[in-house]
Homo-oligomer: A and B are copies of this chain.
Amino acid sequence: MTFCYDYARPAVTTDIAVFTIQDQRLAVLLIQRGGEPFAGHWALPGGFVEADETLEACALRELAEETGIQGVWLEQLYTFGNPERDPRDRVISVAYFALVPMASLNPRAGSDAQDARWFFIDDLPELAFDHRDILDLAQHRLRAKLDYSTVAFSFMNETFTLGELQTVYEIVRGETLDKRNFRKFVKSLNLVEDAGATRRNGTHKPARLYRLIQPGHLHYIR
């Protein structure tokens, strides 16, 4: 079956940059492409928009199909439409980005993907298409959003220590922060509560655990 139109139409895809924190470093989820073009290259998960699904539904579906990851919060990033970005054909890609808790999700390869795994953001392989540009923009947006929203909490597990949270801020911003100022800042947000437990985690004082008062909510600050 073929689909015919009076004018040329571009193909439309979504691509998704999923970030997490691993080993105290920022990591992104990539798949290894099974088919041409760029067979064997690493790329962002994503794929073609189907006739009756929203762009966000497409992104969620492709993410689940190619990596097994489900139910993440997505934000639209930018739409890439350079006519040369796909060597085969005119393809316009609506890019999304997402953050998932530290090391919580084990990706597995799915359809169209030979493999799916986390890469550190500062140690990436060569990427297919313009996915490197997409990733750079996503990282830029993530850094900016840290300053005026509570995105960083999306990286946290259900309970977490303030030290872990501070590490996330330090990793994304690429600079160290003062511990006392950081804790003052977090407490002034009034978004976390004491989870009533501590975690022993090595040869030092146990850390108090906190949880979000409204899990899943993104807040705008400043």
Contacts of A90 on B, CB cut-off 8 Å? 51-52
Chain A stretch 68-107: residues in CB contact (< 8 A) with chain B: 76, 78-79, 81-83, 90, 92, 94
**Copies of this polypeptide in the complex:** 2
Chain A stretch 10-59: residues in CB contact (< 8 A) with chain B: 10-12, 48-55
Are A54 and B79 in touch, CB under 8 angstroms?
no
- With A54-B83, A83-B53 known as contacts, the answer to whether A5 contacts B12 (CB < 8 A) is no
Complex CA gap A90/B94 in Å reads 16
Cβ of A190 within 8 Å of any chain B Cβ, yes or no, is: no
Contacts of A10 on B, CB cut-off 8 Å? 9, 12, 49, 51
Contacts of A83 on B, CB cut-off 8 Å? 51-54
Interface residues in A, total, Cβ within 8 A: 29
Cβ of A4 within 8 Å of any chain B Cβ, yes or no, is: yes
Interchain nearest-CB distance for A4 vs B (Å)? 4
Contacts of A81 on B, CB cut-off 8 Å? 12, 49, 54-55, 94
Interchain nearest-CB distance for A136 vs B (Å)? 16
A residues sitting closer than 8 Å to B (CB atoms) are: 1-12, 48-55, 76, 78-79, 81-83, 90, 92, 94
